[in-house]
Amino acid sequence: MTAKSASRAGRIVLAAAAMAMLSACATLGQWLGLPQPPTDTERREAILTYLDALGPAGQTLAGTQVNEYEISIACDSMDRLVAMTGEEPAMLGLELMFAATYDGYADRLIEHAVEHTRRGGLVTLAWHQRNPLHVCPRGEFYDCSKTAMSEDELVRMLTPGTPENDLWKADVAASAETLKALQEAGVTVLFRPYHEMSGDWFWWGKKSHFPQLWDALYDEFVFVHGIDSMIWVWSGDRAFEGADGYWPVRHPPDVVGTDVYEASDTSPNYTAALPALRSLAPDLPFAFTEVGKAPAPGVMEATSPAWVLLWGGEFLNANWVQTWDCSSCNTEEAVKAFFANDRIVALADMPADLRRIIAGRHPTAPENRPVCPSPLLDPTE
């Protein structure tokens, strides 16, 4: 038996233990033998149970981000990652930005999310929300998430009855339409709003009222719009200085994590946030919610993340960079080595029963992906 085969055998043991816990739910246990899909609550709890078990078992899910600029093109980042590694990754990252203002974008986002869910994979969703108090000439655009907001403006925005609050709620309501459609389609979203709040580049960053902002967003999506199936992911930047100052007051997250972009895959910033996060949330899964370079094996052993999401596009292969110097981009060889690590769980390695629960039926086999060459020319010719 190869090392990779032995590792997969270990995953079967992990799967059996996780599914034994899940079978305590009578309805879900019945569904495993009957053609009745699980409820949103059962699906959500099944995923959380699995995420809880991964780190302690030395296993990690992995995948990549398909960003807003590539969601409608052939050979997106997931296609290219499959071409590199030869395996279907367990996780797909998507972006909510554009959904409320660009015709057709929400449909393509939902299509991607549903396809991956029907395969039995997990979908995580970021949201680079525009600053709702300023005009964004492109509708909703990444640069508009970096338009500054003062602390006083944030306080007014969080105060019911103010014009600022009305503008924010209107933006939230517009994006809620896409999240509701995902929920109705049976997609359990791992939702990661207002990320990297410990940095100062987004309008929500470095704000003393961030906990109130998080809680207010939760109230709107869950209690006003009825989107109650999501798994909420709270992630800061690298070392996550002052993490306790951003901790929600009323609605703690389900998963904690950190985003890391470093020139070295062994940078101490991969592990620097972990003590604070473990102090705040000792029982919650930890994840590398967004990374440039794939963490080195020693980092993976030290942190035991439930998942690692590689940022897409040029970050998967530095040779694709066009006009900038990307010190935190991967080489193709590094990506292949990362996904060949025994602890990485591919889509096919996930527990079969869990994939059925996620898919709501027997998972569908991935369709033929487009041919996505890494170089356009063969340097050996």
Half-sphere exposure (Cβ direction) of 319: Cα atoms closer than 13 Å: 10
Task: Domain ranges for the chain, please list them.
Answer: 3-359
Residues 6+ positions from 65 with CB-CB distance below 8 Å: 77, 93, 94, 95, 126, 290, 309, 310, 311, 312
CATH number assigned to the domain covering 3-359: 3.20.20.80
Identity (one letter) of the amino acid at 313? G
pLDDT values of the chain reduced to their tens digit, one per residue, 381 residues: 344 544 444 444 454 455 555 554 445 545 455 468 899 999 999 999 999 999 999 999 999 999 999 999 989 999 999 999 999 999 999 999 999 999 999 999 999 999 999 999 999 999 999 999 999 998 888 999 999 999 999 999 999 999 999 999 999 999 999 999 999 999 999 999 999 999 999 999 999 999 999 999 999 999 999 999 999 999 999 999 999 999 999 999 999 999 999 999 999 999 999 999 999 999 999 999 999 999 999 999 999 999 999 999 999 999 999 888 899 999 999 999 999 999 999 999 999 999 999 999 999 988 788 888 777 776 565
What is the rounded distance in angstroms from the CA atom of residue 226 to the CA atom of residue 70? Answer: 30
Structure-token pair, residue 268: 């101490």
Q: How far is C-alpha 340 from the chain's CA centre? A: 21
CA angle 190, 193, 198 (to 5 degrees): 125
Residues 6+ positions from 379 with CB-CB distance below 8 Å: none
CA angle 128, 121, 332 (to 5 degrees): 75
**Coil, strand or helix: which one is 43?**
helix
Quickly list H helices, the chain.
Answer: 3-22, 26-31, 40-54, 77-85, 105-118, 151-157, 163-184, 210-218, 274-280, 297-303, 332-340, 352-359
